[in-house]
Structures are given as structure tokens and as C-alpha cells.
Amino acid sequence: MSTFYSEESANRRSSFLLVLVVIAFLGLFGFAIGYAIGYANGDPIVWAIGAVAIAVAFGVLSALGSYYGGDQLVLASSHAQEVQQEQAPQLFNVVGEMATAAGVPMPKVYIIEDPSPNAFATGRDPQHSSIAVTSGLLQKMNREELQGVIGHEMSHVRNYDIRFTLIVGVLVGSIALLAQLFLRYTFWFGGGRRSNNDNNSGGGGLAILFLVIGVVMAILAPIFTALVQMAVSRQREYLADASSVELTRNPHGLESALAKLASDNEPLHSANGATQHLYIVNPLKKLGGGSALFSTHPPIVDRINRLRQLTGDAPMDPVEVRQLSGLE
């Protein structure tokens, strides 16, 4: 049977490979764009190499920017307000307990004034981390359930998920931005045109091929980025659930919390497509709406059944599954 530490190590290896895949996609996309545009300007190879360098540099610089300031952007866009212990004593007490259990420094604590129960963690490392919860979570969860939720978020801090989700979020955003720029260029300028003599020289066919490849990659970029985010988030949610049980020594608190989170229909107004993968449950998907294929979160039923496997309890019965099936 795998341990929490072996799962964490495997998760980090997979995460590193995903970063390489995203950067490789950026490089290939840049090459296709550069060659197609460069052929119209007389030197496709130089343009292609330059475009690869620019695309990769853009992704790396964006990742560095997110590393040092992405968490503050996330908190600001979520309308999260930092609070002190006297303002939320029970929350601070639970966060302190989980930080001690995880062996990480006490993170900053934020509250989002919203009746929808939810929570997320962000930051670049355990020494620069923050945990944000909604006012609805504090109102609707008992202490045991709150402990399970905070344990889940503290696991994201301890496992360095917070750093990775910030960086990957920006990298996949870079792909989407480059795709939009390329499609706009292709629409307005036709990807660049040369004279008929140039086109008959033999290089025109290769330029057209790379132009087509660039257009196809640009069209598929949103699907690719959604799949990357889904793969990253789903695997890490499962691990954080298991790690929460390790920290709290109580799988029933998180199980009960997940059921409450899934069945609550209050929309979270401050959430958006760029931050939805950070939350413990998808704030944009209620009552099974949308496609499960591209969901950033695993189905609640699967998450609860995995928790029950850790304790040897029976999986959810058909009545329970009907109540929660499709909820994320």
C-alpha cells in the first residue's frame, strides 16, 4: 500500500513533467508561428528560432511574475480580506492546529464575504502562504468539518501545490494568449503573403504547412490548457483529501464537509475561470452543470469513496450516490 509520502513524490514528478509539456507546447507553437510569419518576411528559420525564444521566455517570465506576486492577484480578485485572531478566533485556532500538524509556518488568514461555502490556499511556498475561506463556510460547517477543510488546504501548502498551481495557471494562460494573438494575425493579415515566384520556389508549401499547424494548435490550445488544468487539479485534490486525513486523524470530518459543499447551491460570485481550480470544490459548477471531462475537480462521489477506502468503510450506497452524483 502506498504511503502519503510516496504519493506526494509521485505527484511532484508528474507535476514536473506537466510543466515540461506546457513549455514544450509553447516552444512548438512559437516555432510554427515564427516559420509561417517569417516566410512572408524572407527568413523563416530565423523567425522560427526567434519565436521559440520569445514564446518560452514569455512563459518563463510570466511564471516568475506569478511566483512573486500571483498570490496577491488571486486574493485581490477573490475580494479576500485578511483577518486577525480576534476577528475569527475559531478559524485561527483550527488553522494553527493544522499548521502545527503539517509542520509548516502559520499562513496568513483571509475571509471572503460570500454565503457560498468554499476555501482555497495560495502562495509560493509554506513560508509565504495564505488560506482564504468564505463567510458561508464558517457559518455552515461545524468545527470537525472546518478542520477537515483546513486540513485539505494546509496539505496544498505542505505539498507545494500552491506554487505549482500558480505557475501552471500562468503558463497555460500564456498559451491561450499566444493562440489568440496568432489567430488575430492570421485573420487580419492572412499569415503573411509572398509573391507567386516565391511561392513556387518550394518553400511556400512548407510555410503553408506550418501556418496550418499554427492555426490548428491555436484552435486546440483552449482544449489543451483545460486538459492540463484538469489533470493537475484532479490528482492534487485526491492527494490533499488523503493528506487532510493524515493531519486531522479524522476522515469523517472532511467527508461530511464535502457532502455539505456539494449540496450547497449558493453561487460564489467572486470566483472565475482563472481561479476555480484553486478551491476545494469547483465554485462554478453546481448541480452537475457542464462537462465532467473538463472539470478541474474530481466528482464528489469519487472523493468520498476514496476517503472511505482509507478507513475500510463501505462505499456510498445508491441512495447517497443519487443525492450527490454529478456534483463537483
Determine the Cα–Cα distance for residues 246 and 103; give it in Å rounded to an integer: 12
Overall residue count recorded for the chain in this entry: 328
Give the type of residue at 267: P
Provide φ and ψ at 249, rounded to 5°. Answer: 60, 30
Which of 245, 279, 261, 281 is CA-nearest to residue 140? Answer: 261
- Pair 99, 107: CB distance under 8 Å: yes
Task: Tell me the sheet residues that pair with 121.
Answer: 131
Q: Which residues are catalytic?
A: 153
- Pair 303, 325: CB distance under 8 Å: no
Tell me which residue has cell 514536473.
16
Pairing outcome for strands 80-82 and 108-112: antiparallel
Residue 131's H or E segment, with its range, is strand 128-134
Question: Which alpha helices (DSSP H) does 250-299 contain, by range?
Answer: 251-263
Determine the Cα–Cα distance for residues 85 and 91; give it in Å rounded to an integer: 8
- Strand, helix or coil at 27? helix
- Strand, helix or coil at 112? strand
Determine the Cα–Cα distance for residues 61 and 174; give it in Å rounded to an integer: 10
Question: Which alpha helices (DSSP H) does the chain contain, by range?
Answer: 4-39, 44-77, 89-102, 135-140, 143-158, 161-189, 196-199, 203-248, 251-263, 300-311, 318-324
Tell me whether residue 31 is exposed, middle or buried, using C-beta atoms within 10 angstroms of its C-beta: 0 to 12, 13 to 18, 19 or more.
Answer: buried
